[in-house]
Amino acid sequence: MSYQGCLVAFCLWPLLIAAWGRGFWHFVVAFTVTVLLPVAWKKRTRRAYCLDVAAALDLTRHRKRFLKVAIDSGSFHGFSVVLTDLHTNRLGSAERLQVVIGNGRESGIIPPTLVLEQKWASSFPGLDDREDAITGDPEFDGRVRVSGGDATALAVLPPEARTDFLTLGRANHLVRVADGRVTLEIFHKATKEEAVDQVRTALKLAQRLVLPADGVVAGLARRAVEDRHPGVRLRAFTILASGDQPVEIVANVARKLVEDPHPEVRMRAAMALGEEGFEYLSRLVLTLLPRSPFERDGHAGTEVAPQADDNTPAEVLLLRQADERAAAAAHEECRALALAHLVSRQKRERVLPLVKEALRASGPLRVAALVAVTKIGDASLEAEMIAAHESDVPQVRVAAIEALGAIGTAAAVPHLRAQAERSGPLDFELRRTVDEAVAKIQARLQGAAAGQVALADAESGSAAGRVSLMEDGAAGRVALAPNPPRQ
C-alpha cells in the first residue's frame, strides 16, 4: 500500500466512527461516499484502461469475470492474447495489467523449454538445476538469463528478438518468457499509449521466438552465417560443429564463414574444414593487420596521443584506439592458434615455411612458432632461436630458451648462459629454464668421457674426470679420476 493509501485509511476511520456516533444512516451515507463510490470509480477506470488497450490492439475480445478479476482474451496474428486486470488491494497501489501471449492455432510454436528472464530479477545462482545458455552477445548475456538448450536458444533468438527483449526489460522489469508464453505486467501508472507499445513489442517478440519451420539445425546455421554479432556467429557455429549434425551442413556453413570479417570465426570455420581449410589457415597466419594510425615509429607498442583533423571528441578517439588494440590482439591470438593447429595436424614439409615466416613476427605468433619448432625438431632453425633471445617480450625469450633445449647444440650454450647472466635477481624462473635447457642439450651429447667437457653440473649426471661449465657447484674445476695412482 502506498503512503497515499495509508493516509486515506488513517483519515477515513475517524470519519466513519464519528458518523456511527451520530446514527446508523449517517454511517451508511459516510461509508458509501468515502469507500464504495471511490472503489467503484477505481474499478470502472481500471476496466476502461484494460478495454482501451484491448481495443487498440484490435483483439476479438471474449470478456469474462473470474473471482472478481476481469479477463479479456483474443487473438493477434494467430497468437493467443490474454489481458488480465490484476489488483492486490482496494486502494489501487499495485494495480497492473497482465499480458500473456501464447501459442495459438494459427501461430508458430514458441519452444516450451525456452526461458528468458532478467538476471537481476531471477533467483540466486545454484538454487535450481537449470543450466544457462550463452548466445555470444555480451550485452544480452550480461542482462538476460537464458535456459532451455544452447541450440534451441540460438535458433530462435535473432538480433531483433534480443533487441525486443532488452527493450521490454528497460521499460518493464516484469517481463518473462517461459512455458511457450511471453508474459509481462504493466502498471496502470503507464499511459495507455505506453501500454499498447509494450504489448505490441511483446507480440513482435513472440513472433520472432517461433521455432523455424525447417528445424533447429537450419535456424542454427542461419544464425552462424547471418547474425550481425561475431560472438553469436562463433557460438552458433561452435554448437553446430560440435553436435551430431550432418557433415554436409557443417561443411557448407564453414565454407561461408571462412570469409567472415572476424578472425576467430574464420579460424574455427577453416579448422572444421580439415584438409580443405589448410589454405585459409595459412592465409590467416600470414595476414598482417594494417598499421594503426596511433602507432609511433620506433619501439613496438609505443603510441601517440589520438588526434583527428575534424572535431571528433578525444574520448571517442580513445575508444577507437582501444578497439583497435583489442582487434589487433585478437588477430594475433588467432594467428597463433591457427599455426599451432596446422603444426599438430600437417606434415613437417608443409608447415615449415609457415613456421619460418612466423619466427619473424612478434608476440603470440612468434611464441607459437617457437613452440612449433620444438615439435618439429629441426636443428637448422637454431640461429632463429638464438635471435629470439633479443626480443623485448619475456614470453618470447622463455619460449626460445625452451626451443633451444629441445633442438639446440653445444654452440647454443654460451647464448643460454648469457641469458641467465642478464636476468634480474628475481628472475628465478628464467634461470631454471636455462638450466633445464642446458641439461637437455647435454643429454643429447651422449655423455662426456674423462678429459672431455661436460655442459651440465654434477646434479644432472656429470661424473668425475669431466670439466663442468655450470655456474654453481664445482663450476670451472677439474675433478680428478678416482683411480689410484701408479706405483
In a domain, 12, yes or no: yes
Question: How many other C-beta atoms lie within 10 A of the C-beta of residue 462?
Answer: 24
Residue 223, pLDDT score: 93
Residue 464, pLDDT score: 38
In a domain, 53, yes or no: yes
* Amino acid in position 321: Q
In a domain, 51, yes or no: yes
| Residue 246 to residue 176: CA distance in whole angstroms | 34
| Residue 59 to residue 171: CA distance in whole angstroms | 23
pLDDT per residue of the chain (487 residues) written in tens, 0 to 9 = 444 555 555 566 676 666 666 777 766 776 676 766 776 666 666 667 667 777 777 765 555 544 344 455 556 667 888 877 765 444 444 467 788 888 876 667 899 989 999 886 444 444 444 557 788 898 899 889 998 888 889 999 999 999 999 999 888 778 899 999 999 888 766 777 888 888 889 989 998 999 988 889 999 999 999 999 999 999 999 999 987 788 899 999 999 999 998 999 999 999 999 899 999 999 999 887 655 554 444 344 444 445 555 566 777 777 777 777 888 888 889 999 999 999 998 888 899 999 999 988 888 999 999 999 888 887 888 888 888 888 888 888 889 888 888 888 888 888 888 888 877 766 788 888 888 888 888 887 765 444 445 555 444 444 433 444 444 444 444 443 344 444 4
| Residue 429 to residue 440: CA distance in whole angstroms | 17
| Residue 40 to residue 218: CA distance in whole angstroms | 54
In a domain, 356, yes or no: no
In a domain, 339, yes or no: no
Query: What is the domain count for the chain?
Result: 1
Q: Which of 261, 291, 255 is nearest to 273 (CA)?
A: 255
Dihedrals phi, psi of 135, to nearest 5 degrees: -90, -25
In a domain, 182, yes or no: yes
> Long-range contact list for 68-71, CB < 8 A, 24+ apart?
70/46
In a domain, 402, yes or no: no
* Amino acid in position 31: F
Contacts of 442 (CB under 8 A, 6+ apart): 448, 454, 455, 456, 460, 461, 462
Residue 309, pLDDT score: 52
Whose grid coordinates read 574520448? Answer: 315
Dihedrals phi, psi of 145, to nearest 5 degrees: -90, 125
Q: How far is the first Cα of the chain from the last one, in angstroms, to the nearest whole number? A: 114
Residue 1, pLDDT score: 45
Tell me the Ramachandran region of residue 397: left when phi exceeds 0, alpha when psi lies from -120 to 50, beta otherwise.
alpha
Question: How many other C-beta atoms lie within 10 A of the C-beta of residue 33?
Answer: 12
Residue 73, pLDDT score: 58
21 lies in which domain range? 3-114+156-211
Question: How many other C-beta atoms lie within 10 A of the C-beta of residue 471?
Answer: 14
| Beta pairing, strands 453-454 & 467-468 | parallel
In a domain, 486, yes or no: no
Residue 16, pLDDT score: 63
- DSSP letter at 303? B
Decide: helix, strand or coil at residue 123.
Answer: coil
